[in-house]
């Protein structure tokens, strides 16, 4: 049974600090914005949604306690609408969609909203703790290193220089600027208002279109100190003994930005769409999640994409639009290297380096970007992929409805 994509909306991404445009918005309220917008646009009745699934990576404090259900209630979807929160780190937003597709595809739901939320300005990265990094037995057994050092390890192992990585960043800024200029995000952007109706943020706040190569070259590596002074480089070399030294190529300018944001995607079965008079923009063709070596952590997306393509009976050349989350520049480079893609084939509207990476929401956001891009370019298939903490990758293949 096909899972139809009805619509995909997102909030703008606000800078993830107290002065950011969305910092005064509670996570539940942030999550409610795209939910309410979907309801307003598509006019599905109260209690008609079978499930709300929201990805959230730090589900504690005000983001805790099943934000999926609470947001569904506060957004006014109806008391009869169940909700859940899921977490697979950075791919949570896409995994929410894949889970929804599994429910719809197996006939267990007809109308599902999947998406994600992360208010990084309010609930800091790492707030939910976890045994992986801080349980000595586990951290030792898994060779835990902070993700940025994993990014540097990817660059070192696969031969990407600081210049290569800075080029990815520069391109992300340029593509983002172009996309904004052409209004490519307008269809999916949902402005965020305060409770009194005052607009807080209508456009993405993180891009720095004026960035030059020299600006980037001047930035100091972000993870050198952490790696060199606190033993993490040595831990990485226990797992990768062939590497003499880790080249710390990533910095604030070629890594994903810390931002606030939420996204929601309306998915339906054919019956569900018909029942509520919804028009499909696309369909979900296949998806895959894979695990990979957890220390280097970030190398699974290509494998996930290949697996999703194989499930769909498609090949790399069938894909017209690629979205690979720009967690770190080296992740994009490694993805292209593995799949034999040119950099110009991926992320043509920019990515998380320019726009920011609201952890739990990003997967759903770039899913929407892929759909918009297929429509803009008249392409047929798109593939969305993200690298994930602890060595995982998730990918989804979609097809535009002509």
Partner 1 sequence: MIRLERYDAIAHLVLDMPDRGANVWNQESLDAVGQCIADYASDEALKGLVIRSAKSSFLAGGDLEQIEAIATGGRSAEELHARGGELAELLRRIETCGKPVVAAINGAALGGGYELCLACHHRVMADHPRAQVGLPETQLGLIPAGGGTQRLPRLVGVQTALGVLMEGKSFPAAKALKMGLVDQLCPPDQLIETAERWLADSPVSIQPWDQKGFKVPGGDMEGSAKNTMMVATAMFQAKTYGNYPAGTAILSCIAEGLRLPIDAAFEVEKRYFVSLLLDPVAGAMVRTLFLDLEAAKKGARRPKSVGDLPLDCIGVIGAGLMGGGIALEAARKGLEVIIIDRSVEEASKAHAYVQRFFDRRIKRRRATQEECDAVKARIKPSADYADLKTAQLVIEAVFEDRATKAKVSSAAERHTTDDAVIASNTSTLPITGLAEAVDKPEQFIGLHFFSPVERMALVEIIRGEKTDERTLALALDLVARLGKVPVVVNDARGFFTSRVFGTYITEGVGMLTEGIAPALIEQAGRMSGMPMPPLALADEVGLALMHQVGEQTKADLGDAYQANAATPVLNQLVVEAKRIGKSGGAGFYDYPSDGDKHLWTGLNERFELAADQPKVEHLIQRFLTTQALESVRCVEQGVMIEAADIDYAAIMGWGFAPYTGGPLTMIDNEGLPEFVARCDQLAARYGERFTPPQLLRDLAQSGQSLRG
| Catalytic machinery residues | 90, 357, 387
- How far apart CA 373 and CA 72 sit, in angstroms, is 28
Give least dist CB 143 to partner 1, A.
Answer: 8
- Compare residues 133 and 343 and give the one whose CB is closer to partner 1: 133
- How far apart CA 202 and CA 190 sit, in angstroms, is 7
Helix axes 301-312, 329-339, angle to 10 degrees: 40
- Compare residues 135 and 215 and give the one whose CB is closer to partner 1: 135
Site string for partner 1, 130-169 (x = CB under 8 A): ---xxxxx-xx--xxx------------------------
| Full DSSP string of 255-279 | BPPPEEEEEEEEEE-HHHHHHHTPP
Give least dist CB 140 to partner 1, A.
Answer: 5
Polymer length in residues for the chain: 402
Q: Are 58 and 123 spatial neighbours (Cβ–Cβ below 8 Å)? A: yes
- Compare residues 136 and 313 and give the one whose CB is closer to partner 1: 136
Give least dist CB 86 to partner 1, A.
Answer: 24
User: Is residue 291 within the footprint of partner 1 (CB under 8 A)?
Assistant: no
Q: Residue 90 pairs with which residues in a beta bridge?
A: 88
Site for partner 1 in 204-243 (CB under 8 A): 230-235, 237-238, 241-243
Question: How many chain residues touch partner 1 (CB under 8 A)?
Answer: 24
Give least dist CB 336 to partner 1, A.
Answer: 24
> Using alpha carbons only, how large is the chain's radius of gyration in Å?
20
- How far apart CA 18 and CA 15 sit, in angstroms, is 8
List phi, psi (to 5°) of 285. Answer: -90, -45
Residue 392 C-alpha from the chain's centroid? 13
- Compare residues 142 and 200 and give the one whose CB is closer to partner 1: 142
Site for partner 1 in 71-130 (CB under 8 A): 129
- Compare residues 241 and 277 and give the one whose CB is closer to partner 1: 241
Site string for partner 1, 236-255 (x = CB under 8 A): -xx--xxxxx----------
Give least dist CB 159 to partner 1, A.
Answer: 14
Dihedral sign (CA 115, 121, 123, 125):
positive
Binding site for partner 1 (CB under 8 A): 129, 133-137, 139-140, 143-145, 230-235, 237-238, 241-245
């Amino acid at each position: 049974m096909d899972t139809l994509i009805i619509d995909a909306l997102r909030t703008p991404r606000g800078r993830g600090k107290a002065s950011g445009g969305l910092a005064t918005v509670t996570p539940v309220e942030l999550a409610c914005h795209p939910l309410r917008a979907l309801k307003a646009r598509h006019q599905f009745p109260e209690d008609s949604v079978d499930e709300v699934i929201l990805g959230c990576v730090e589900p504690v404090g005000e983001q805790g306690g099943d934000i999926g259900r609470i947001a569904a209630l506060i957004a006014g979807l109806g008391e009869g609408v169940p909700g859940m929160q899921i977490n697979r780190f950075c791919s949570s937003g896409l995994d929410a969609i894949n889970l929804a597709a599994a429910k719809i595809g197996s006939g267990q739901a007809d109308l599902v909203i999947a998406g994600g939320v992360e208010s990084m300005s309010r609930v800091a990265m790492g707030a939910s703790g976890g045994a992986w990094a801080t349980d000595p037995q586990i951290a030792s057994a898994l060779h835990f290193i902070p993700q940025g050092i994993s990014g540097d390890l990817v660059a070192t192992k696969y031969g990407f220089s600081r210049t290569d990585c800075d080029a990815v960043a520069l391109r992300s800024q340029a593509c983002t600027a172009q996309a904004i200029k052409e209004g490519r995000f307008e269809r999916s952007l949902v402005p965020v208002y305060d409770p009194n109706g005052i607009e807080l943020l209508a456009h993405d706040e993180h891009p720095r279109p004026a960035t030059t190569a020299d600006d980037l070259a001047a930035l100091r590596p972000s993870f050198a100190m952490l790696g060199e002074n606190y033993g993490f480089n040595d831990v990485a070399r226990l797992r990768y003994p062939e590497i003499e030294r880790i080249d710390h190529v990533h910095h604030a300018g070629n890594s994903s930005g810390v931002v606030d944001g939420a996204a929601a995607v309306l998915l339906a079965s054919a019956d569900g769409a018909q029942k509520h008079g919804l028009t499909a923009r696309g369909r979900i063709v296949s998806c895959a999640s894979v695990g990979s070596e957890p220390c280097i952590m970030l190398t699974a997306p290509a494998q996930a994409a290949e697996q999703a393509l194989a499930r769909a009976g498609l090949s790399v050349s069938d894909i017209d639009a690629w979205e690979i989350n720009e967690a770190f520049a080296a992740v994009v480079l490694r993805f292209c290297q593995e799949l034999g893609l040119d950099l110009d084939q991926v992320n043509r509207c920019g990515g998380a380096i320019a726009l920011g990476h609201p952890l739990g929401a990003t997967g759903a956001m770039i899913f929407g970007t892929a759909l918009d891009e297929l429509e803009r370019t008249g392409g047929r298939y798109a593939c969305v992929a993200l690298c994930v903490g602890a060595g995982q990758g998730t990918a989804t293949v979609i097809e535009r409805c002509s």
